[in-house]
């Protein structure tokens, strides 16, 4: 019945919460077009994305061959199309120009690209441009460290509260002369640290998005915190956590642990604190990878349970160390004998939930198994899993040796010393797992199209493509020129069988980005010569790896598919 109830809950959440859209903004149109030669200078550069992006966090740089800026104003939104950004230009002279763009997607990840255009009538050959370099990114060290501190302190504070109110409370009644003041102080200190760390992380993220201001420009950056969905989400995290801290302080204040039964006021305050803690841990998933992964309800639920179980574990471990050090030496064994068995049972459930939800999230985010070792996202998952497995081994020592040892007089003192060493090691490892999770949440998961890499017949590019593959008895020659991102490219497929051209076939070419999630683009190829099918398009909207999938239906023959991976140059 419990399993059926949980399944029904997951299904209900998945149905209620709508599926997410594409996780990243991407460029769909440029004016001027990439690689075009204009007879007259354009008054501006206009970039159209698949979603509205915030102009205050967008960069559009236009430079000449010498690297001199040609813009005369800041980036603004087009009054006729909210998905288009515009930057005004000075009067351009004859020659080539480089456009570098950078925008922030809804999940907080920056995306960027470059393209060229020329002003004629005789601009000459395209020079070797040096694109501008923006050092800030979602995986920069200061940002990852700030995220790690924010999540570690927030989760530890919630776990300490759970230990104080639900696990360690009976110590007062069962061991005379003890109190929980040290746990209360530890909770307060960690909660204050989290209240400072969360806005510090948001400030660092905003300073990276707004490349014109540093972390210390509070007056300029704080008003921008709620500009993006990502920023609004973390402001809400701070508000929910502050509400949790207030309710938790009230719950601790009205609690009388020397009494077995709680008062109505204590129950109400504790329930409010736990509800606020649950909301705090739910929000990061809704604005992160889980909120952009279908089925969204299941992904967000797994993320929430992962954070809840991790919070109980890491906060409880820190709390046990506080209890160990704060109890008088004469009372230490008795106090630990009350806390450790209760926490061990809770931690065992938490670890199982942590493991199960981690595996479930990996299944949702990774399209194929080999993405674990072929992508940066998958490699960090393996590192995090290794750290957690090491922590689980130490937890098993506590469960199998320390817990029973504390109940035996002849081994209790040695078990207490072992507990301190093992729990200290667990705290370090779990903190390392949170650090790995911070890196993981800063990386883009591989898109579903990544699975096509396993079925590709060849890998080509960067640069002009002329590759031959064989499939289903046919020889296919793939031609791509010039194979540049955000530029008109000529795509052709020459189909022969037994050395003779195959005429009258129906061929469709689809494009899938393998580095980030984007909608599939599909084009019908036209037979321009016997056995040669071609199309000219700017489908390669970003530099990087693309799956080019040809669906071929020969006249009077069986249809088949052929996929190659093409690395488009920037």
pLDDT digits (tens, 9 = 90+) for 449-493: 888 888 899 999 889 999 999 999 999 999 999 998 877 789 999
Determine, yes or no, domain membership for 9: no
Question: Is there a single domain that holds both residue 80 and residue 228?
Answer: no
Lowest average pLDDT, out of 63-67, 91-95, 400-404, goes to 400-404
Question: Is there a single domain that holds both residue 153 and residue 197?
Answer: yes
- What is the pLDDT at residue 427? 92
Question: Tens digit of pLDDT for each residue in 117-127?
Answer: 899 898 988 78
The dihedral region occupied by 116, where left means phi > 0, alpha psi between -120 and 50, and beta the remainder, is beta
Is the per-residue pLDDT at 397 higher than 90? no
Please count the structural domains in the chain: 3
Determine, yes or no, domain membership for 132: no
Question: Is there a single domain that holds both residue 275 and residue 348?
Answer: yes
98 or 108: which carries more pLDDT confidence? 98
Lowest average pLDDT, out of 6-15, 157-166, 285-294, goes to 6-15
- What is the pLDDT at residue 108? 59
Question: Is there a single domain that holds both residue 465 and residue 329?
Answer: no
Within 8 A by CB and 6+ apart from 492, the residues are 478, 479, 480, 525, 528, 532, 533, 534, 535
- What is the pLDDT at residue 3? 41
Task: Supply the CATH number for residue 43's domain.
Answer: 2.60.40.1220
Any idea which residue has 């991976």 for tokens? 565
- Packed helices 329-365 and 412-442: angle between N→C axes, nearest 10 degrees: 30
Q: Which of 446, 466, 488 is the last residue of a domain?
A: 446
Determine, yes or no, domain membership for 3: no
Please report which confidence band the pLDDT of residue 2 belongs to, taking 50, 70 and 90 as the band edges: very low
Q: Which of 406, 421, 446 is the last residue of a domain?
A: 446
Mean pLDDT over each residue of the chain, to the nearest integer: 86
Q: Which of 388, 420, 446 is the last residue of a domain?
A: 446
Question: Tens digit of pLDDT for each residue in 153-197?
Answer: 999 999 999 999 999 999 888 888 888 999 999 999 999 999 999
Distance in angstroms (rounded) separating the CA atoms of residues 173 and 396: 28
Is the per-residue pLDDT at 98 higher than 50? yes
Question: Tens digit of pLDDT for each residue in 134-152?
Answer: 555 566 788 889 999 999 9
- Are 76 and 86 in contact by the 8 Å Cβ rule? The answer is yes
- Are 99 and 29 in contact by the 8 Å Cβ rule? The answer is no
Handedness of CA 235, 241, 242, 247 (dihedral sign): positive
Cis peptide bond prior to 196, omega within 30° of 0: no
Determine, yes or no, domain membership for 550: yes
Is the per-residue pLDDT at 570 higher than 80? no
Cα Rg of the chain (Å, integer): 29
- What is the pLDDT at residue 453? 86
- What is the pLDDT at residue 21? 34
- What is the pLDDT at residue 134? 53
Question: Tens digit of pLDDT for each residue in 240-250?
Answer: 999 999 999 99
Please give the average per-residue pLDDT across 370-385, as a whole number: 90
- What is the pLDDT at residue 288? 81
Question: Is there a single domain that holds both residue 159 and residue 189?
Answer: yes
Q: Angle 355-358-362 (CA atoms, 0-180°, nearest 5)?
A: 140
- What percent of the chain lies above the pLDDT cut of 70? 91
Counting runs of H as helices and runs of E as strands, what totals does the chain give?
13, 19
Question: Is there a single domain that holds both residue 179 and residue 318?
Answer: yes
Q: For 75, phi and psi rounded to 5 degrees?
A: -70, 135
Question: Is there a single domain that holds both residue 259 and residue 289?
Answer: yes
Instruction: Please state whether beta strands 37-38 and 110-119 pair in parallel, antiparallel, or not at all (unpaired).
Output: parallel
Beta bridge partners of 481: 490
Is the per-residue pLDDT at 407 higher than 80? no
Distance in angstroms (rounded) separating the CA atoms of residues 46 and 450: 31
Q: Angle 330-331-337 (CA atoms, 0-180°, nearest 5)?
A: 130
Determine, yes or no, domain membership for 329: yes
DSSP 256: -
- Are 457 and 564 in contact by the 8 Å Cβ rule? The answer is yes
Task: Supply the CATH number for residue 551's domain.
Answer: 2.60.40.10
Question: Is there a single domain that holds both residue 441 and residue 467?
Answer: no
413 or 191: which carries more pLDDT confidence? 191
Question: Is there a single domain that holds both residue 260 and residue 181?
Answer: yes
230 or 9: which carries more pLDDT confidence? 230
- What is the pLDDT at residue 409? 56
Percent helix, strand and coil across the chain, each rounded to 5?
50, 20, 30
Specify the pTM.
Answer: 0.79
Is the per-residue pLDDT at 507 higher than 90? yes
Please give the average per-residue pLDDT across 409-438, as a whole number: 84
- What is the pLDDT at residue 133? 56
- What is the pLDDT at residue 411? 58
Q: Which of 375, 384, 239 is nearest to 306 (CA)?
A: 384
- Packed helices 181-209 and 296-326: angle between N→C axes, nearest 10 degrees: 140
Determine, yes or no, domain membership for 188: yes
- What percent of the chain lies above the pLDDT cut of 90? 46
Question: Is there a single domain that holds both residue 420 and residue 385?
Answer: yes
The pair of structure tokens assigned to 496 is: 């022969």
Please give the average per-residue pLDDT across 368-393, as a whole number: 90
- What is the pLDDT at residue 365? 87
Please report which confidence band the pLDDT of residue 216 belongs to, taking 50, 70 and 90 as the band edges: confident
Is the per-residue pLDDT at 23 higher than 70? no
Determine, yes or no, domain membership for 536: yes
Element (H, E) at 384: helix 376-397
Report the greatest alpha carbon distance in the chain: 95
- What is the pLDDT at residue 10? 34
Taking residue 429's Cβ as centre, other Cβ atoms within 10 Å add up to 22
DSSP per-residue letters across 170-185: THHHHSTT---HHHHH
Instruction: Please state whether beta strands 506-513 and 544-553 pair in parallel, antiparallel, or not at all (unpaired).
Output: antiparallel
- Are 483 and 462 in contact by the 8 Å Cβ rule? The answer is yes
Please give the average per-residue pLDDT across 89-112, as a whole number: 81
- Cα 175 to chain centroid, rounded: 46
Is the per-residue pLDDT at 13 higher than 70? no
- Are 380 and 433 in contact by the 8 Å Cβ rule? The answer is no
DSSP per-residue letters across 69-107: B-B-S--EEETTEEEEEEEEB--PPSEEEEEEEEEE-TT
Question: Is there a single domain that holds both residue 230 and residue 358?
Answer: yes
Residues of the domain holding 333: 141-446
- What is the pLDDT at residue 162? 96
Determine, yes or no, domain membership for 130: no
Question: Is there a single domain that holds both residue 439 and residue 456?
Answer: no
The pair of structure tokens assigned to 211 is: 């490349």
């Amino acid at each position: 019945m419990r399993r059926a109830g949980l399944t029904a809950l997951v299904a209900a959440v998945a149905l209620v919460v709508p599926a997410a859209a594409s996780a990243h903004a991407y460029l769909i149109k440029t004016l001027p077009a990439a690689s075009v030669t204009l007879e007259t200078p354009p008054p501006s550069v206009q970039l159209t994305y698949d979603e509205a992006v915030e102009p205050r966090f967008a960069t559009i740089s236009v430079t000449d061959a010498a690297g001199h800026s040609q813009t005369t104003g800041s980036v603004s939104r087009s009054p006729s199309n909210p998905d288009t950004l515009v930057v005004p230009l000075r009067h351009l002279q004859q020659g080539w120009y480089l456009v570098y763009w950078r925008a922030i997607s809804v999940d907080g990840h920056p995306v960027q690209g470059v393209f060229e255009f020329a002003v004629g009538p005789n601009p000459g050959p395209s020079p070797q441009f040096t694109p501008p370099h923006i050092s800030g990114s979602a995986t920069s060290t200061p940002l990852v460290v700030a995220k790690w501190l924010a999540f570690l302190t927030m989760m530890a504070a919630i776990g300490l509260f759970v230990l104080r109110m639900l696990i360690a409370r009976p110590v007062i009644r069962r061991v005379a002369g003890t109190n929980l003041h040290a746990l209360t102080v530890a909770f307060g200190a960690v909660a204050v640290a989290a209240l400072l760390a969360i806005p510090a992380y948001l400030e660092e993220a905003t300073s990276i998005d707004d490349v014109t201001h540093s972390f210390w420009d509070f007056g300029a950056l704080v008003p921008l915190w709620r500009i993006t969905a990502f920023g609004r989400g973390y402001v809400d995290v701070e508000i929910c956590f502050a509400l949790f801290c207030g309710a938790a302080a009230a719950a601790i204040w009205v609690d009388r642990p020397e009494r077995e039964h709680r008062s109505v006021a204590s129950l109400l305050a504790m329930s409010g604190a736990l509800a606020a803690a649950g909301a705090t841990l739910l929000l990061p998933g809704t604005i992160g990878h889980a909120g952009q992964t279908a089925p969204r309800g299941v992904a967000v639920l797994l993320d929430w349970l992962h954070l809840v179980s991790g919070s109980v574990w890491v906060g409880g471990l820190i709390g046990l160390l506080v209890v160990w050090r704060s109890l008088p030496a004469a009372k230490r064994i008795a106090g630990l004998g009350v806390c450790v068995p209760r926490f061990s049972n809770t931690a065992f459930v938490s670890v199982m939930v942590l493991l199960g939800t981690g595996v479930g999230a990996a299944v949702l985010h990774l399209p194929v198994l080999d993405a674990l070792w072929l992508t940066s996202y998958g490699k960090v998952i393996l590192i995090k899993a290794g750290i957690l497995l090491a922590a689980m081994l130490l937890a098993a020592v506590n469960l199998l040796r320390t817990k029973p040892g504390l109940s035996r007089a002849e081994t209790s003192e040695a078990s207490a010393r072992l507990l301190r060493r093992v729990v200290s090691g667990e705290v370090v490892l779990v903190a390392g797992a949170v650090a790995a999770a911070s890196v993981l949440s800063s990386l883009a998961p591989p898109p579903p199209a990544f699975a096509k890499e396993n079925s590709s017949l060849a890998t080509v590019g960067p640069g002009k493509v002329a590759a031959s593959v064989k499939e289903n008895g046919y020889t296919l020659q793939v031609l791509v020129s010039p194979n540049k991102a955000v530029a008109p490219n000529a795509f052709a497929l020459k189909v022969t069988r037994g050395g003779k051209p195959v005429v009258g076939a129906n061929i469709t070419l689809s494009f899938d980005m393998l580095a980030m999630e984007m909608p599939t683009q599909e084009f019908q190829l036209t037979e321009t010569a016997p056995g040669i099918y071609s199309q000219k398009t700017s489908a390669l909207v970003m530099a990087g790896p693309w799956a080019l999938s040809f669906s071929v239906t020969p006249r009077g023959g069986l249809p088949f598919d052929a996929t190659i991976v093409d690395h488009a140059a920037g």
